[in-house]
C-alpha cells in the first residue's frame, strides 16, 4: 500500500510577523500561561504520532 506524504502547513519565513516573535511578551511574568507552557514542554511526546496518511487537516511539522 502506497502512503501519501503528510500534509504540512507551508511555512514562509520571509513574511513579516503580525505578532511578536515571543507571545510571552504580551502577558505578565506571573501569568498562568507561563506555567502551562512549561508543563507542556516537560511532557514526553515521543510516542505521539503525526498523521502520515496525508488525510485530514494540515499539520505543523515537528521542530
What average pLDDT does the segment 24-53 reach?
85
pLDDT at 26 over 70: yes
Q: Read off the pLDDT band of 42 (50, 70, 90).
A: very high
The Cα 54–Cα 51 span in angstroms is 7
Residue 33: all three cell numbers together? 500561561
What average pLDDT does the segment 16-21 reach?
74
pTM value is: 0.46
Beta bridge mates, 8: 59
More confident residue, 44 or 58: 44
Amino acid at each position: 500500500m502506497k502512503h501519501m506524504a503528510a500534509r504540512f502547513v507551508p511555512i514562509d519565513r520571509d513574511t513579516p510577523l503580525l505578532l511578536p516573535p515571543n507571545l510571552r511578551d504580551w502577558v505578565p511574568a506571573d501569568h498562568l500561561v507561563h506555567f502551562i507552557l512549561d508543563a507542556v514542554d516537560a511532557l514526553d511526546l515521543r510516542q505521539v504520532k503525526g498523521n502520515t496518511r496525508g488525510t485530514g487537516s494540515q499539520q505543523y511539522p515537528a521542530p
